[in-house]
Structure 1
């Protein structure tokens, strides 16, 4: 699986397409039936995209502004996108043009309540999330009550009320004239790679005629096998329980037979549906060495937006706008990945007395772009190996700070910067440190779990 930075970057452009006009009832379905399944963050992403489509008509923007609007890092946005895609509420298209990428997000309408509750996967997913009492209340709220007893339908059909003006149409309809803007018929499902040939082998054609396996029946069998984690051999028993006297396999009989078989053979507890974790990250090894402090720092720098990192380093206060604009410029104009920008900002803050100097930052950024640095880990390593060069650049850009001895290593730096055995020199006692700068530097050191001298 691709690392996150290869899947999505804040500098990537996007636009939103709304092929189907959503209604207030759609909003009620989304909040009542879908939000318990995908979570509030995914629903916030959906509603934000919906608002942009209505307000801006699909105008192009970039993910950096979307992340600031939602107040979440790019990793959580990507996870929310996967949740929406998996549940059938979003289709994502990607276009690459050289080094830049753009995405098209097409919002999909929710299933109508009857289809939702009829689907065994979605209904059981919701049941497992909210429990029986809340599930029953939602069914009562969204499903139409049956017509009371004693009433007989006397509605006329279309042909009873209307007739054509001419015997034939003047021109045939162009099938491409109108775009299909209908609700999806059911939850998209690829069949779960279910082995129907193995299912057929154990079933006598006399007991279960092959004509009973209609496309609808096969689709329901595959969904139930996925939901209950049943093999083709186990589904043979379900089919035998579900077949009626007319050799038909209906959805309701299949669902009831699968539930009965599961309760008798597997567990009396209802099955649960869970999201596969770490959609955008490389899968971790089940058994392996624990993460080092540098690994944890690299993961942190990959996930957090630069503005949020600056805010955290500023003890929760809003960072200076000049620093924010510099971070945005590195991401949007220069196209540097978020993790690389975070390493760069952290490095300069530590080596430049807690200040971000545009010329100094951009000179290092130009060097990293030439080196094609793409991850926080690569940036950390380059900052370590090229430190002497960068310190010379700092001296060239201005006068040395008062009280410092040349360009030597005279201040506390993160664990990732020096090897564990190396220790920076202490500041002269006579130096008068700026309290604000020193406080900011100490907050930065504490944030990343670092101690003076690089000790853990």
Structure 2
């Protein structure tokens, strides 16, 4: 699986398409039936995209804006997108052009309640999430109840009420026709790679006619095998329980037989579905069994957190100054640097520049990293470590005034996560030209990564 920076970056553009007009009843279906399955974060992403599609009419924006609106890192946004795609509420299209990427998000309408509850996978998925009492209440809320006794349908048909005025109906104008977007008939399902040949081998044609395996019956068999995690050999028993006296396999009998077999042979508790673990963006290159080092944990953190949130944490939870926010946004949006790379750059400058972000110094290092095609936080950490002396010279060339620190001719110290030793300054070497606020900011940053004042543990 590709690392996250190859799948999605804050600088990537996107637009939203709403081919089917969603209604208030759709919103009720989404919150009542789908939110327990995909979670509140995924539903927040869906509602935000829905609002943008109705308000902006498909205008292009970038994911940095979406991340700020939702207040979540890019990793959680990507996981939410996968959850919506998997449940059938979102289709994603990607276009790459001139080194940049753009995405088209097409919102898909939810299934109507009757189809939802009739679907073996979705209904059991919901049952396992909310439990029997809540599931029953949802059925009573969304499914139309039967008519009270004594009522009969006396509605007139269309032909009984209307008649044509002319004998000829005008042909429709093809130029004014629109693409029809209807609700999906059922949850998209690719068959789960079910081995029907193995299923058939153990079933005598005298017991179960091959004609009974209609496309609808085979689709239901594959869905039930996936839901209950049953093998083709186990599904043979389900089929034998489900076959009726006419040799037919109906969907309802298959569902009932699978539920009975599962209760008798596997567990009395309802089966549960879980989302597949999302890809770990910064850990793709590590063996699964390898323990995370301190640098691994740091790289994972830097890949996942938005730059503005990182600045907020460094600032003790308070909002960072706008000039720093604008600099971070410029690195992401104008220069197209990945989030993890921007975070390393900002932290490096904060640590080596007395807790301050200097625009020219940051952009000079950013230009160097862009030329080196740095794409991940781990690559940025490595380059910052190997090129540290060069960057310190750039800092001096930038006209930074000399400090009152003794031993100013010594090489600047580097934190442990840049793998260089540091010489501890004496108590008399404290800086005199930096404000208490800047010093406190720098110390919070060093404390966050377990660094002592001189860079040693």
Give the TM-score taking structure 1 as reference length. Answer: 0.94
Indicate the SS of the match to 1:416. Answer: helix
Taking a change above 3 Å as real, the CA distance of residues 366 and 218 of structure 1, as seen in their structure-2 partners, is: same
Aligned to 2:238: 238
**Cross-structure match for 2:41:** 41
Per-residue deviation, residues 89-110 of structure 1 (Å, max 9, x unmatched)? 1000000002100000000111
Maintained 8 Å contact 1:395/1:407: no
Instruction: Rate the CA distance shift 1:431–1:146 in 2: closer, same or farther, 3 A.
Output: same
Q: Give 2:259's aligned residue.
A: 259
Aligned residue in 2 for 1:305: 306
Aligned counterpart, 2:370 = 369
Distance of aligned partners of 1:441 and 1:108 in 2 relative to their CA distance in 1, 3 Å threshold = same
Q: Which runs of 5+ in 1 are unaligned?
A: none
Map 1:16-415; keep pairs closer than 5 Å: 16-164=16-164, 169-171=169-171, 177-279=177-279, 281=281, 288-404=289-405, 405-406=407-408, 408-411=410-413, 413-415=414-416
What is the distance in 2 between the residues matched to 1:368 and 1:7? 21
C-alpha separation between the residues in 2 aligned to 1:296 and 1:409? 27
From the superposition, tell whether residues 212 and 338 of structure 1 become closer, same or farther in structure 2 (CA, over 3 Å).
same
Q: Contact 2:415–2:456 (CA<8 Å) still a contact in 1?
A: no
Shift of 1:219: 1.0
Match of 2:425 in 1: 426
Q: What do the CA deviations read for 1:99-125 (whole angstroms, capped 9, x no partner)?
A: 100000000111111111111111111
Asked if 2 retains the 8 angstrom alpha-carbon contact of 1:113 and 1:143, the reply is yes
CA distances 1:301-334 after superposition (whole Å, capped 9, x unpaired): 0011111111110001111111111111110000
Contact 1:19 1:106 in 2 (8 A): yes
> What number of residue pairs does the alignment pair up?
453
What is the deviation of 1:159? 4.0
Aligned pairs for 1:437-452 (under 5 A) are: 437-452=438-453
Structure 1 pair 249–164 and aligned structure 2 pair: CA distance change class (3 A): farther
Shifted more, 423-432 versus 267-276: the winner is 423-432
Distance 1:370 1:33 in 2: 49
Structure 2, gaps ≥5 residues long = none
User: 2-side partners of 1:229 and 1:409: how far apart?
Assistant: 62
What is the CA-CA distance between 1:180 and the residue it aligns to?
1.7
| Match in the other structure for 2:437 | 436
Mapped to 2, the partners of 1:154 and 1:203 lie a distance apart of: 49
Partners of 1:89 and 1:407 in 2: how far apart? Answer: 62
For 1:104 and 1:119, locate their aligned partners in 2 and report how far apart those are by CA, in whole Å.
28
Q: Is the 8 A contact 1:415 1:450 kept in 2?
A: yes
Q: What is the deviation of 1:205?
A: 2.1
Note the alpha carbon deviations across 1:60-100, whole angstroms, 9 max, x for none: 00000110111100000000101110111100000000210
CA distance 1:400–1:172, change in 2 (3 Å): closer
Q: Tell whether the 8 Å contact from 2:42 to 2:81 is kept in structure 1 after alignment.
A: yes
Report the Cα distance in structure 2 between the residues aligned to 1:224 and 1:122, rounded to whole angstroms: 11
CA shift, 1:439, in A, is 0.9
Distance 1:305 1:110 in 2: 31
Deviation at 1:415, TM superposition (A): 2.1
Q: 1:22, 1:407 → 2: CA distance?
A: 67
